Amino acid sequence: MKFIRLLIVLSAIPVSVFAAPRQLAVTAVNKLSIARPSQTIELTAAQLAPLDEKNLSKIHVTDAAGNELVCQAVDTDYDAFHQPDIVIFQSDFAARETKTFFVIAGAKQEFKPDQYEAFGRFVRERFDDFAWENDRIAHRTYGQALETWAGEPLCSSTIDIWSKRTSRLVINEWYLADNYHADEGDGADFYSAGPSRGDGGNGLWAADRLWTSRNFINSRVLANGPIRVLFELEYAPFEVNGISVSEVKRVSLDAGQQLDHYQSTYKTFSRPDRPPVMLTAATGLKKAEGEQMALNATNGWFVKWENMEKQAGQQGLGIIFDPALFLKQTDDKLNQLIITKVSDGNVSSYWAGFCWNKAGQFTDFPAWKKYVDEFAQGLASPIEVKISAK
């Protein structure tokens, strides 16, 4: 009888008491007194759990007016099931602005080609390049096949620049035409990175010199737009002052941004009878004749401005690093270098990127310095996010 009465009581309780909320409200706050365009908001699976939807590809986001925003489910940990564990979307923020968004579960997301603003891929047909881009910038780096190409062999883990002045994604077009050294209106490959560090290539610093890996040997894509491209590159062990070190580099680039995020995880192979090796990271920008440079160790950035090759205009390059890990700025024959401690877990994390004056967003050195400084401020003070059920 008690069991029957319990069933009667439970049946009298509205179903909505037990049901998942229909939507979540996201309050996002820009605490800085600067405007912040193209800010990426990340929502974790744990934050989205009240919606009771495990497939994050079915999550949708709207702004306060009810307009649906492009959002992307991302697998950040590359687990065995390759299931997304965060959802990202973007918005522009005015100085000290607070915005509200709403999150619901619905049909699986399907995107149209013109919604994609970030993309990357392994390019087997071009001696194992890996190339990636967003609506602002494009890069490539070199795979193992290029080391033995009879035409122009190159052994380098550099980061190359592809200058573009269109918001369209152009990688596939440029490789298809195989004419990316000529500007047909969208930009071209004007940069010769060679054995230098190019635009943010990295290495390790020991015995007062730079030690670098060779070309990458494996790649894997974790996310490929429409907002973020995220991939990993694996490098064979290389020598660093008498010890062997391997590297896995994770690279991400979001729409609307001029800077990539790089995270290199190192593994050392030293003798068991020796103490653990403390690594020191070096991140570089290729030297250029007549370059202008500026360092702000307090805010954690280093930038330069230079004339481009082939009279293609001018470009700015930059690195953002953790000020708490900064050791010094130095150079070698090919590069301007930022030397930093490697954090716990042997991970070197930094941001690097570039601008081209003919793209129109940043046409002089002061504008470029301002952008990089404000980007660094944003990293130190991320958009604050609070979630509540509605």
Residue 273 pLDDT:
63
pLDDT confidence band for 77 (50 / 70 / 90): confident
> Taking residues 223-251, what's their average pLDDT?
96
Average pLDDT over residues 206-227: 97
Query: Rounded distance, CA 168 to CA 196, Å?
Result: 28
- The count of other CB atoms within 10 Å of the CB of residue 50 is 15
| Average pLDDT score, the chain | 93
What whole-number distance in Å separates Cα of residue 179 and Cα of residue 187? 11
Which residues, listed in sequence order, are joined to residue 42 by a DSSP beta bridge?
88
CA distance 39 to 30: 10
For residue 5, what pLDDT band results from cuts at 50, 70 and 90? very low
Nearest residue to 323 (alpha-carbon basis) of 335, 336, 338:
338
Question: What does the DSSP 8-state code read for residue 131?
Answer: E
Share of the chain above pLDDT 70, in %: 93
Give pLDDT tens digits for 161-186.
Answer: 999 999 999 999 999 988 888 899 99
- For domain 23-109, the CATH superfamily is Golgi alpha-mannosidase II (2.60.40.1180)
Q: Is the pLDDT of residue 21 over 80?
A: no
pLDDT, position 20: 58
User: Within a 10 A sphere around the Cβ of 153, how many other Cβ atoms?
Assistant: 11
Domain ranges of the chain: 23-109, 115-359
Percent with pLDDT over 90 in the chain: 85
What three-state secondary structure class fits 144? Answer: helix
Residue 344 has a pLDDT of 83
Range with lowest mean pLDDT among 8-22, 61-75, 364-378? 8-22
Edge-to-edge order in the sheet of strand 314-320: 218-224, 228-240, 243-254, 259-269, 347-356, 314-320, 301-307, 292-296
Q: List, for residues 54-64, the tens digit of each pLDDT value.
A: 999 999 999 99
Asked whether the beta carbons of 279 and 339 are under 8 A apart, the reply is no
281-310 mean pLDDT: 97
Residue with tokens 């009771």: 52
- Read off the pLDDT of residues 30-56 as tens digits, 9 standing for 90 and up: 999 999 999 999 999 999 999 999 999
SS (H, E, C) 314-339: EEEEEEECCHHHEEEEEECCCEEEEE
Q: How many beta carbons lie within 10 A of that of residue 57, not counting itself?
A: 15
Structure confidence by residue, pLDDT tens digits, 256-293: 999 999 999 999 987 666 667 789 999 999 999 999 99
Beta-carbon contacts of 98 under 8 Å, excluding residues fewer than 6 positions away, are: 27, 28, 29, 30
pTM of the predicted model as reported, rounded to 2 decimal places: 0.93
Q: Which CATH class is domain 115-359?
A: mainly beta
- pLDDT tens profile 113-170: 999 999 999 999 999 999 999 999 999 999 999 999 988 899 999 999 999 999 999 9
